[in-house]
A and B are shown apart, each in its own frame.
Chain A
């Protein structure tokens, strides 16, 4: 193990991220996101890749889709015994995979479409809290079982391999989605294992990240106060839970939540008018534990939108382009041009300023808007 890590240690690269959204809710074939992330193959080292798609389960759109990774059959049996007494699963099946030569001994993948039984009496927020509570309990307490995603009409597919291999393995080309994100991993200080690949997901939040969260310890402890348990051994996990806490539970608009994650420098805050200054100062005080330190470029998505954000010094790259109703985000411009050769406009967002793109209101089932 250490031999391997040391051998590759000097290689110079960084993770690659890609994202696509159709603002009119039109479905984008999986081939496009595969092509975009494969174009950035050089940014990874084969130790992780993954995809998140929104709108992929129209037949089960009213159910929470649990994507489950199991170490072995035994773990899975124990998990099912636990799950079925807790919640109603309308349908479950193995996640379809193909044999890929380079992927040896993959874990078992299954998906379950579930609904909390007493849902009629629960508000959406309470329902979602219940799902989270269950996911947190399972990931922390059931041996060899990890719930990789748990949102409605969406799912995360990820593992150890290059993006082309993971796409082939999970048959990403057979899905269509109105939002896609993808990741190519080059792990630097956390292990390269199946659960640690990106995207990270909870409910319909999913996130792909290029960089290092050096404030991981602080963020993790802060999140534990609110019942989130970090079990996947990768720094990016905290961002997923921070988004859920700040945006879904505390109801901060996305822009403000992003300001909490990547706040302006104090010298910039000094120049604001009194009202804005009070707001940002309060935000920095209240959400100090949510501040992300270190270099990052992230793309996160939810059932209704996609957001790109870099750290406030822009230590990782992010490019955005528009072509009609389609918007593209990626680490490299080439990853966009390979699927959209002539976009109307290409730009590099400013450091710490989120690019928020939401699907037109009333277009997709269970649509969310946090603008």
Chain B
């Protein structure tokens, strides 16, 4: 049985408190209605719970969390999945800036557009490998300082047909991980010390696996996503900036 409640006039502190208390009582599923701008929801929660949220979620949804699966039926504001470690956030609307900032594990699936500085300083280690899939388009500085993990941008569900699929300074300072783009990118948008390559078989199998899960959550046909060629963006070398300060 899900714990169902409407946040009404409750503060975000109170909402988080209710969820934490119910978790202690052994509850595993939640449905939270009427959210509007509530910050830090599910912050730091380590249990494997499922949470469905209706409304516009405030800043830093699921920050530092390592466990919950969150489904948002609406938009999320800035900082969604900030430094999250494990679990999954699926957003059926769009997202603001700095999605998955410093993320170190788990998955974030956004159906629509995302803002600026998404996936900056993502990192991976051993079995931790963060993944962000963006159904729409992204702003400038996507994957800036990226050190590990995967970002996929589809450019399909965007409300801005006039904008390029990603903004300027893509992957600036990137030294690990990979960014997959559906369709070609004008080199103007690329950061320095990056290479753009076609997908090999291993890449294709890996991308397919991620997108299959994305499609299952978003409710889209995998064929639609794969009907265009993808490109992979990776750093030139393991340490493209090794000599930047020591010369």
Interchain CB contact under 8 A, B140 and A317: no
B139 at the A interface (CB under 8 A): yes
Distance from A265 Cβ to chain B, minimum over Cβ atoms (Å): 8
Q: Which residues of B contact A271 (CB under 8 A)?
A: 188
A33 CB, nearest partner CB in chain B, Å? 16
Question: Is the CB–CB distance between B159 and A337 below 8 Å?
Answer: no
Which residues of B does A touch, CB under 8 Å? 36-37, 39, 55-56, 58-59, 75, 77-78, 94, 96-97, 113, 115-116, 139-141, 159-160, 163, 168, 188
Q: Mark A326-342, 1 if CB is under 8 A from B, else 0.
A: 00000011110110000
Residue pairs across A and B with Cβ atoms less than 8 A apart, 9 shown, are A39-B36, A271-B188, A314-B139, A314-B140, A317-B78, A317-B115, A332-B77, A334-B36, A334-B77
Does the CB pair B139–A351 fall under 8 Å? yes
Is A285's CB within 8 Å of the partner chain B? no
Interchain CA distance A105-B58 in the complex, whole Å: 35
> Which residues on the B side are within 8 Å of A332 (C-beta)?
37, 58-59, 77
Residues of B within 8 A of A333 (CB): 37, 56, 75, 77, 96
Do A348 and B113 have beta carbons less than 8 Å apart?
yes
| A350 contacts the other chain (CB 8 A) | yes
| Interface presence of A42 (CB below 8 A) | yes
Taking CB atoms, residues of chain A closer than 8 Å to B140 are 313-314, 351
Check if B97 sits within 8 Å of A314, measured CB to CB. yes
Assembly CA distance A345 to B160 (angstroms): 12
Report which of A313, A337, A346, A351 forms a contact with B36, defined as CB distance below 8 A: A337
The reply on A91 being an interface residue by CB < 8 A is no
Asked if A347 and B37 make an inter-chain contact with CB atoms under 8 angstroms apart, the answer reads: no
Q: How many residues of A contact B (CB 8 A)?
A: 23
Smallest Cβ distance from B149 to chain A, in angstroms?
23
**B contact patch SS:** loop
A-B contact count (CB 8 A): 60
Which are the 8 A-B pairs with shortest beta-carbon distances? A334-B37, A314-B116, A334-B36, A333-B56, A334-B56, A337-B56, A348-B115, A337-B36
Q: Check if A345 sits within 8 Å of B36, measured CB to CB.
A: no
Residues of chain B lying within 8 A (CB to CB) of residue A313? 116, 140-141
Inter-subunit contact A335/B37 (CB<8 Å): yes
| B188 / chain A contacts, CB cutoff of 8 Å | 267, 271
A338 to B58, CA, bound (A): 12
For A39, A40, A346, A348, the residue with the greatest tally of chain B CB atoms inside 10 Å of its CB is A348
User: Could you tell me which residues of chain A, from 293 to 333, have a CB within 8 Å of some CB in chain B?
Assistant: 313-314, 317, 319, 332-333
Query: For the complex, what is the distance from the CA of A320 to the CA of B39, rounded to whole Å?
Result: 20
**A42-B39 in contact (CB<8A):** yes
Note all chain B residues with C-beta closer than 8 A to A334.
36-37, 56, 58, 77
CB-nearest residue of chain A to B113: A348
Q: Mark A210-227, 1 if CB is under 8 A from B, else 0.
A: 000000000000000000
Which of B39, B163, B168 has its CB near the most chain A CB atoms (within 10 A)? B168
A337 CA to B36 CA in the complex, in Å?
7
Complex CA gap A328/B235 in Å reads 41
State whether B36 touches A338 (Cβ < 8 A): yes
Cα distance A260–B140 when bound, in Å? 21
- Give B141's nearest chain A residue, CB to CB: A313
How far is B97's CA from A365's CA once the two chains are assembled, in angstroms? 39
The residue among A271, A334, A337 with the most chain B CB atoms within 10 A of its own CB is A334
Contact B97 A317 (CB under 8 A): yes
Nearest chain B CB to A268 CB, angstrom units: 8
Residue of B nearest to A346 (CB): B75
- List residues of chain B with CB within 8 A of the CB of A268: 168
Contact with B along A2-40 (1 / 0, CB 8 A): 000000000000000000000000000000000000011
Write the nearest CB–CB distance from A136 to chain B, whole angstroms.
Answer: 38
* Interfacial chain B residues near A335, Cβ < 8 Å: 37
Q: How far is the CB of A41 from chain B (nearest CB, A)?
A: 10
A17 nearest CB across to chain B (Å): 14
> B170 CB to closest chain A CB, in angstroms?
13
Expressed in whole angstroms, the minimum distance between the Cβ of B201 and any Cβ of chain A is 36
Alpha-carbon separation in the docked complex, A39 to B38 (Å): 10
Closest chain-B Cβ to A328's Cβ sits at a distance in Å of 13
Which of A265, A317, A338, A347 is packed against the most chain B CB atoms within 10 Å?
A317
How many whole Å from B78's CB to the nearest CB in chain A? 6
Give the nearest-CB partner of B160 in chain A: A347
